[in-house]
Chains A and B, each alone.
Chain A
Amino acid sequence: MPDHTPSRPLAGAPDSEAPSSTRALRLGVCGPVGTGKSSLIALLCRELAGELQLGVITNDIYTDEDARFLRSAGVLDPARIRAVETGACPHTAIRDDITANLIAAEELEADFTNAGGTGLDLVLIESGGDNLTATFSPALVDVQVFVLDVAGGGDVARKGGPGIERADLLVVNKTDLAVHVGVDATLMVAEAGAARDGRPVLGLTRTDQASVARLCAWVRAQLASHRIGALVPQDPGPMAPHFHADAANGLTGGWHVHDHAHA
Chain B
Amino acid sequence: MTDSRRTIHRDLVLMLLADARLPVAGHTQSATLEPALRAGLGPADVPGFVATRLRTVTRVEAATAVVALHHLRRGLDLSAVEAAWSARTTSPAMRATSRSQARALLRLVSRLWPGTEALRAVSSSTTPCRAVVLAATAASLDLEATALARLIGYDDVQTVCSAALKLLPLDPADVTGWVASALPAVDALADEVAHLTRPDDVPASGAPQIEAWAQAHVHTTRRLFSA
Contacts and interface: CB of A to CB of B under 8 A. Distances in A.
Interface stretch (A158-166, A194-202, A212-220, A246-254): A246-254
A14 to B, nearest CB: 8
Given A64-B221, A99-B104, A6 B1 contact: yes
Given A6-B1, A96-B21, A256-B6, A103 B224 contact: no
B77 interface: no
A258 interface: yes
A85 B3 contact: no
B5 A86 contact: no
B111 interface: yes
B10 interface: yes
A251 B224 contact: no
A5 B73 CA distance: 12
Interface string A239-263: 0000000010011011111111110
Interface in B100-119: 100, 103-104, 107-108, 111-116
B127 to A, nearest CB: 12
Contacts of B5: 7, 253-256
Interface residues of B, number: 43
Contact of A99 (B7, B10, B23): B23
Interface stretch (B27-35, B40-48, B189-197): B27-35
The secondary structure that dominates the A interface is loop
B8 A87 contact: no
Contact of B29 (A4, A87, A253): A87
- Max chain A C-beta neighbours (<10 A), residue from B11, B103, B223: B223
B221 A258 contact: no
Given A7-B5, A68-B221, A87 B115 contact: no
B111 A15 contact: yes
B141 A87 contact: no
A253 to B, nearest CB: 6
Interface string A72-94: 00000000000011111100110
Contact of B115 (A12, A15, A92): A12
B134 to A, nearest CB: 15
A62 B223 contact: yes
Contacts of A88: 166, 224
A100 B25 contact: yes
Contact of A87 (B21, B28, B116, B144): B28
A5 B109 CA distance: 19
B74 interface: no
Contacts of A97: 21, 23-27
B111 A256 contact: no
A180 interface: no
A41 interface: no
A65 B3 CA distance: 55
A260 B8 CA distance: 9
A259 B112 contact: no
A96 B23 contact: yes
Contacts of B7: 2, 4, 255-258, 262
Interface residues of A, number: 46
A10 B112 contact: yes
A257 B222 contact: no
A62 B21 CA distance: 22
Given A85-B224, A88-B166, A258 B140 contact: no
B50 interface: no
Given A85-B223, A85-B224, A13 B6 contact: no
A255 B107 contact: no
Contacts of B23: 96-99
Interface in B111-138: 111-116
Interface of A: 2, 4-10, 12-15, 61-65, 68, 84-89, 92-93, 96-100, 102-103, 247, 250-251, 253-262
Given A93-B28, A99-B108, A258-B7, 15 more contacts: A2-B7, A8-B113, A10-B112, A10-B113, A12-B113, A62-B223, A62-B224, A85-B223, A85-B226, A87-B224, A103-B103, A254-B5, A255-B5, A258-B8, A259-B10
Interface of B: 1, 3, 5-11, 13, 21, 23-30, 100, 103-104, 107-108, 111-116, 140-144, 163, 166, 221-226
22 contacts: A6-B1, A8-B140, A12-B111, A12-B113, A12-B114, A64-B221, A85-B28, A85-B224, A87-B225, A88-B166, A96-B21, A96-B23, A97-B23, A99-B24, A102-B107, A103-B107, A254-B5, A256-B5, A257-B7, A258-B8, A259-B10, A261-B9
